[in-house]
Amino acid sequence: MPTTDTAPQHALRGLKVVECATVIAAPLCGRLLADFGADVIHVEPPGKGDPLRKFGFTKDGINPWWKHYARNKRFVTLNIPKPAGRDVLIRMLADADIFIENFRPGRLEEWGIHYEDLAKVNPRLIMVRVSGFGQTGPYSSQPGFGTLMEAMSGFADMTGFPDGPPVLPTFALADSFAGFYAATAAMFAVYNRDVIGTGLGQVVDVSILESVFSMLGPNALVHQMTGEVPARTGNRNTTSAPRNVYRTRDDRWIAIAASTQSTAERLFTTMGQPELIEDPRFADNTLRVANADELDPLVGAWIAEQTLDDVSALLYANEVPAGPINNIADLKVDPHAIAREMVVAAPDGDGEPLEMEGIFPKLSRTPGAVRHAGKDIGSDNAEVFAALGLSADEIAALEQDDII
């Protein structure tokens, strides 16, 4: 697995980001920027640190969530609710490009940290605020974790089988969407400041709720036109058929998405049942969706006669969109995943390199790189605070007062 940083020049080299955020959504925004060369300084409270450090499980001193989501950043401790900590933060922000935070709306202001005051010190500062419900609205002051947003956005109500309960994802789906939106919006603001040339920063308000809601498709318009809400359809959908997962003879699973007329016709021909093309139940996509209860058993019976390798080869040869249901063990040996460096080995100090998601998206001239996994709490205190002009004695005094 590749471990070296081969980028001739990272796309975001020279961009300074200060991140006062915890867990996944907002820190993922920072990590995406760090992957492409931004200098992201992750600020944690002294002693306890970011709760992500204790997320899930820790083995041999390694927490996989922390190592993965916190990679490529620098790490300092700072007690920002205290006036002395706030003063140090403002010094850090004086020449920063982006300030990322995910405190409950109003909390920073309670500590005397207002964007209007920060903008007087640094008019170019872009403040990215990530919260469950956004900075405004009747729910804005409520705690908002991704699970709640997956429920409240409509996602869970759409997910699962018709005769079963709503289903929540088993990974940080909502937080990830919010992190991607936050990083994208931050760069919108950088473009406005630096390329359009306004020279001014602004506040970016990202809610996790809206991040998920925006990904669910034209549900509002469908409801306006039909009066219907999306139904749970299991692994089918209401826009094309056949679309499902099917069990193979060797007890594996394969997904098929015959989303266009031509792909459906190629599937029927590959199945050795070209007559299905003329069957009045399956002649076009609208009919296939309406008659999925009759179509799925025909496709499933054909696939059940073959092994995953055999049916995959046959479908690929005939350009039928299909793919095996992989797990991470499958992906780590998949030739395409290997070629695309979907999993890389991140340097981790003196320890063994740690496997994690590779860099994505891929830029041809200024690619990103995984330079190191998430580091120990406060590991960059001396370097970062000295760069602010604090002397060794001042740093020691702040440490003594539990400010850093």
Helix (H) or strand (E) holding 257: strand 253-257
Structure tokens at 352: 């063994």
**To which residue do tokens 């009045």 refer?**
280
Question: How far is 82 from 396, CA to CA, in rounded Å?
Answer: 17
The answer to whether residues 216 and 158 touch, using CB atoms and an 8 Å cutoff, is yes
**To which residue do tokens 């799925």 refer?**
296
**Residue 175 annotated in active site:** yes
Strand partners, 43: 76
Question: How far is 132 from 208, CA to CA, in rounded Å?
Answer: 5
Q: What are the backbone dihedrals phi and psi of residue 288, each rounded to the nearest 5 degrees, phi first? A: -65, -40
Q: Out of 35, 50, 175, 205, pick the active-site residue.
A: 175
Closest CA to 100 of 88, 110, 108: 108
- Residue 292 burial (C-beta neighbours within 10 Å; 0-12, 13-18, 19+): buried
The alpha carbon dihedral of 125, 210, 108, 397 has a sign of negative
Q: What is the DSSP letter of 171?
A: S
Strand partners, 88: none
Question: How far is 155 from 109, CA to CA, in rounded Å?
Answer: 32
- Residue 307 burial (C-beta neighbours within 10 Å; 0-12, 13-18, 19+): middle
Question: How far is 275 from 65, CA to CA, in rounded Å?
Answer: 51
The answer to whether residues 76 and 48 touch, using CB atoms and an 8 Å cutoff, is no
The answer to whether residues 122 and 193 touch, using CB atoms and an 8 Å cutoff, is no
Residues designated catalytic: 175
